[in-house]
Amino acid sequence: MNRLVACIALIVLVVQVSGTKFTDCGSTIGQVTGVQVTDCPDSADTCILKKGTTKGITISFTSKGASNSAKAVVHGVIAGVPLPFSLKNPDGCKSGISCPVKNGQSYTYSNQLPIRNSYPAVGVTVRWEIQDDNGRDLVCVEIPCHIQ
């Protein structure tokens, strides 16, 4: 029986940690439980962002605080310089998060990032933040990417 419980716990752990590789860059009011980028293999060290396409992102997290709103802010960090990426809909409450955000609740945020033809072909770290009413990060993830 103990082996069965241990096996189930291991499977749950593997499922929770699978997904797109990312670094938490300051999730102060939430804990990221998973990140998935469309067409980015779990085994890839770098996500390929093809010009003229759109990439979907899903971020799962558990809130450690409350907020009436949730706003996405996205930057491409090149050589340490953050450059803003624009989103059609930065409102997290219209992107899968049930607002108001409540302490201890789990949420799944989904959105799309257009990769413009005008972007240079370069390595970039995509920094995706979801901020609360006061501009504090519910979540902040950085994903290593390359624009082609």
N- to C-terminal Cα separation, the chain: 51
Backbone φ and ψ of 18, nearest 5° = -75, 155
pLDDT of residue 11: 36
- By CB neighbour count within 10 A (0-12 exposed, 13-18 middle, 19+ buried), where does 141 fall? buried
Q: Tell which phi-psi region holds residue 102, choosing left (phi > 0), alpha (psi between -120 and 50) or beta.
A: beta
**Residue pLDDT tens, the chain, 148 long:** 434 333 333 333 333 344 789 999 999 999 999 999 999 988 889 999 999 999 999 999 999 999 999 999 999 999 999 999 889 999 999 999 999 999 999 999 999 999 999 999 999 999 999 999 999 999 999 999 999 9
Q: Contact 93/130 with Cβ under 8 angstroms? A: no
pLDDT of residue 19: 79
Q: Where are the beta strands (DSSP E) in 12-136?
A: 23-24, 30-37, 47-49, 53-63, 71-78, 81-85, 106-115, 123-131
What is the C-alpha separation between 148 and 81, in angstroms, rounded? Answer: 19
Q: Contact 29/95 with Cβ under 8 angstroms? A: no
pTM: 0.85
What is the C-alpha separation between 142 and 105, in angstroms, rounded? Answer: 23
What is the C-alpha separation between 23 and 126, in angstroms, rounded? Answer: 10
